[in-house]
Amino acid sequence: MAKVVISSRGVERILSGHPWIYRSDVVDASGAEPGAVVELVDRRKRFWGQALYSSKSQIALRLLTREPRPFDRAFLAERIRAAADYRKNIAKGAQAYRLVAAEGDLLPSLVIDRYGECFVVQTLSQGMEKLKPAIVEILQELYSVESIVERNDVPVRSLEGLSEQKGTLARETVAEVVVEEHGVKFAFDLLNGQKTGGFLDQRENRGAARAYARGRLLDCFTYAGGFALTMASACKSVVGIDSSAEGLALARRNQEMNGLTNLEWKEANCFDFLKAADRAGERFDTVVLDPPPFARQKSSVESALRGYRELNLRALKMLNPEGFLVTCSCSYHVSEADFLGAIASAALDAHRTVTVVERRTQSRDHPILLTVPETHYLKCLILRVQ
């Protein structure tokens, strides 16, 4: 196995529990092939672990293990099996969930989502790309696989010098998978849907939100009707808004499949919709806000907070007394404290008294590593509005 020499700052990264070592902390990688599993040593040749080497990315090394035992196919299979075993408990009964969540499952840059017996794989580094054939085999050993597809059509791959790809890796191409979540059927388009087909990180929050659903519900950024359909049976009427026609087509399909009749869908920009609805004096008893990440980098935190403030202000103004607001942020760069601050400021402007009923995060199949802050990105607050 090739050795890569890292600086003392690189060693410090490992000791701090973070799996990424930046290119500036690589002293010598001359013997390493792009995407190889390499041994990490310091200048005094002391062994520090094994990592995936990238010849392109600023994240030059992604730590796999601190053990000396070679990170081979058996080791990889063990990691995937450990991830699967953990889900047996925390995603019990779920048919669609994240089976492998990259760093969160000690398999940096690998994502595997499970939809019934169909699997969606993302290999987001040169190293994981190389391991892809082994990953496909291992999944077929563990499950009676109907289909494995790759959704490597993501721009981050370019940082690794990898092309964007999507398609079937094993078994059949499945146009649509139908799975149940919280007793509601959802159809997923694994090859063409957003992300890997759906927003699995909100699974537990959709379930939690249902407990507060009542009266007239507004679900902003509904995509395929995730929150709207989960909460519909507890509501008198539901309006789902999204700017994506494809998302809403799926939402209608999901509504029909479940025989629900109290929902309507509107294709609109949620900012515009909320402004107009507020002006028109519309009122709701429950509102869900689940926008896309507003801050993809640190420099856009301020504008992201303005966006959250505006959305939440409108929602708060339109809620009837004793209403509930379920409000989310999936921007890693926006901390929970900042997010709470933006909503507090909106509450003051809206002259509403707001109680934090639940402070939630991403579903447990998207594990948060204590020493890897990047793994904690989703905030979901359930608020009582008086």
Residue of 220, 270, 328, 330 with catalytic role:
330
- Smaller CB distance to ligand SAH: residue 123 or 254? 254
Query: Is the separation of the CB atoms in 312 and 335 below 8 Å?
Result: no
Minimum distance from CB of 370 to ligand SAH (Å)?
27
Minimum distance from CB of 168 to ligand SAH (Å)?
24
Is 118 tagged catalytic? Answer: no
Spatial distance between the Cα atoms of 334 and 28, rounded to a whole number of angstroms: 36
Minimum distance from CB of 116 to ligand SAH (Å)?
17
Residue in the structure block whose two tokens are 């009676």? 144
The residue sitting closest to ligand SAH, measured at its beta carbon, is 226
SS (H, E, C) 196-209: CCCCHHHHHHHHHH
Question: Which residue ranges make up the site for ligand SAH (CB under 6 A)?
Answer: 194, 199, 202, 206, 221-224, 226-227, 242-244, 247, 269-271, 290-292
- Smaller CB distance to ligand SAH: residue 32 or 248? 248
Minimum distance from CB of 224 to ligand SAH (Å)?
6
Minimum distance from CB of 225 to ligand SAH (Å)?
8
Spatial distance between the Cα atoms of 40 and 48, rounded to a whole number of angstroms: 5
Instruction: Please give the biggest Cα pair distance in the chain.
Output: 71
Residue in the structure block whose two tokens are 């990264």? 13
Burial of 371 (0-12, 13-18, 19+ CB in 10 A): exposed
DSSP string covering 96-155: EEEEEEGGGGT-TTEEEEEETTEEEEEE-SHHHHHHHHHHHHHHHHHS--SEEEEEE--G
Which amino acids are annotated catalytic?
330
